[in-house]
Amino acid sequence: MFEVDVKPRRNAASVFRPLLLTTFLAMALIAYMPTAACAVPGGAGQSPEAPAAGEPTSFDRAGMWVWYVERSEGGSVPEIVSRARRAGIGTLYIKAGDAGNYWSQFSSGLVDALHRGGLDVCAWQFVYGERPVAEAKVGAAAARRGADCLVIDAEAHYEGRYAAADLYVRALRARIGERFPLSLATFPYVDYHPSFPYSVFLGPGGATYNQPQMYWKAIGTSVRGVYEHTYLFNRLWEHPIYPIGQTYMRPGRGEILGFRRFADSYGGRPPSWWSWQETSTRAWDALGAGTAGPIAGYSPVTSHPMLRRGSRGDLVVWAQQHLVGAGQSQLSVTGFFGPQTAAAVRSFQLSRGLPVDGRIGTETWPSLLEATPVRPRWSARRVRTRRGSGARSSRLVGPSRPRSASLPAKAYETSPGPAP
């Protein structure tokens, strides 16, 4: 999941070792799996049917992330299944692509074998925004190969790239359907990344599950600290939050158990863990140990962040989208909270019987989030026009982005992970 420095140099390990087969899985497993292949995605399969609204998805099972299958139990599917079961893991998140390149380790044979072992299998792809349509094709190819869900891992490369994010999401949803389980896994601290297009990836038509990378040791905080900071902002996207914890950097048993208990305190959605190849025996034991449920006597953070005159960033974009959706049609979506936005907020507050102060805080956010946000078209598009003679034609409207897209990150809370 930490791949800011590994742009398709995955070919360092060109061939996976043959998988270790057992008799009962012999017909289902893959005997040869090259890594990081740059082949064009293909396959004639169809995306699996999406679950009905309200039904559990693969996100609702404790998960483990896999970067390289060959470095997870040596690539032995029976051993992967056995280890996962002992640790209470129900879903594997397996890398299926990098940029516009499909990774052939994510195959229908592997998915079928893991399904036979009782595991759900989600694909994840690391995206850069340079070739968004090609990236969308990679995600769709993984869905066709039987993925139960798909995860977008978008990080620093996508900061400021609203048009690319918009094009990627539209192209992906056109291929996998509007209901296929799709999540975003990215920086947990929204306020650190004012130019990251959370409002696109988690906005209308985008991902409907939120998996923030809550690596407390890498961030340099506590388990409690990472939960309180992450949930304060991420709840504003109104999608189920499934925290990703860390088993790299050798966290203690108490930290892992504490992360699981805080997950119970913040809604009970099971976490997943980065990553298999860096999980020690002690960490595996902690994952499989029973927990006592929510933290006794702890009250989760329920307040909302404050936006006011001078606020800038994607959270302002998100608020402006809702204000326009609530009837403030004169408002421009810029990512800058200026006089026009303050006036729109006051008008909204007046219409809802809220205290009129022109600020968006704990009292205003809940009412504002009830409005359906507009969906800006940041990517280029063709618009039909009619000439004076009545003849129809079209013109190209170029890509755009909010003014806040040029803002630098305030900090990078997580640092690049270990080299492959």
Are both 150 and 232 inside the same structural domain? yes
| pTM score | 0.87
Domain boundary among 288, 305, 330: 288
pLDDT of 387 reads: 64
In this predicted model, what pLDDT tens digit does every residue of 67-100 receive, in sequence order?
A: 999 999 999 999 999 999 999 999 999 999 999 9
Rg (CA), the chain: 22
Integer Cα distance of 78 and 39 in angstroms: 28
Question: What's the DSSP call for residue 295?
Answer: P
Q: List the CATH number of the domain containing 166.
A: 3.20.20.80
Asked if residue 405 belongs to a domain, the reply is no
Q: Is the pLDDT of residue 8 over 90?
A: no
Average pLDDT of the residues in 267-272? 96
Are both 179 and 324 inside the same structural domain? no
Are both 274 and 328 inside the same structural domain? no
Asked if residue 126 belongs to a domain, the reply is yes
Are both 201 and 267 inside the same structural domain? yes
* Residues facing residue 392 across a β-bridge: 386
Domain boundary among 272, 288, 304: 288
Are both 262 and 183 inside the same structural domain? yes
Average pLDDT of the residues in 141-162? 98
Domain boundary among 253, 288, 323: 288
pLDDT of 142 reads: 98
Asked if residue 325 belongs to a domain, the reply is yes
Average pLDDT of the residues in 241-260? 97
- Helix (H) / strand (E) element for 195: namely none
pLDDT of 44 reads: 35
Average pLDDT of the residues in 5-24? 32
pLDDT of 48 reads: 55
Average pLDDT of the residues in 264-291? 96
Are both 128 and 205 inside the same structural domain? yes
Are both 105 and 178 inside the same structural domain? yes
Q: Is the Cβ–Cβ distance between 213 and 184 less than 8 Å?
A: no
Name the percent of the chain lying above pLDDT 70: 84
Average pLDDT of the residues in 179-188? 97
Asked if residue 381 belongs to a domain, the reply is no
Are both 94 and 233 inside the same structural domain? yes
Asked if residue 378 belongs to a domain, the reply is no
Are both 265 and 323 inside the same structural domain? no
Asked if residue 293 belongs to a domain, the reply is no
Q: Is the Cβ–Cβ distance between 26 and 16 less than 8 Å?
A: no
pLDDT of 389 reads: 63
Are both 258 and 157 inside the same structural domain? yes
In this predicted model, what pLDDT tens digit does every residue of 315-353 receive, in sequence order?
A: 999 999 999 999 999 999 999 999 999 999 999 999 999
Domain hosting residue 352, numbered range: 314-369
Asked if residue 16 belongs to a domain, the reply is yes
Task: Give Cβ neighbours of residue 312 (< 8 Å, ≥ 6 apart).
Answer: 194, 335, 336, 337, 404, 407
- Count of domains forming the chain: 2
pLDDT band at 56 (very low <50, low <70, confident <90, very high): confident
> Given its phi and psi angles, is residue 32 left (phi above 0), alpha (psi -120 to 50 degrees) or beta?
beta
The tokens of 233 are what? 């902002």
Asked if residue 236 belongs to a domain, the reply is yes
Are both 33 and 143 inside the same structural domain? yes
Q: Is the pLDDT of residue 225 over 60?
A: yes
- Residue that is written with structure tokens 């961030």 in the block: 219
Are both 246 and 326 inside the same structural domain? no
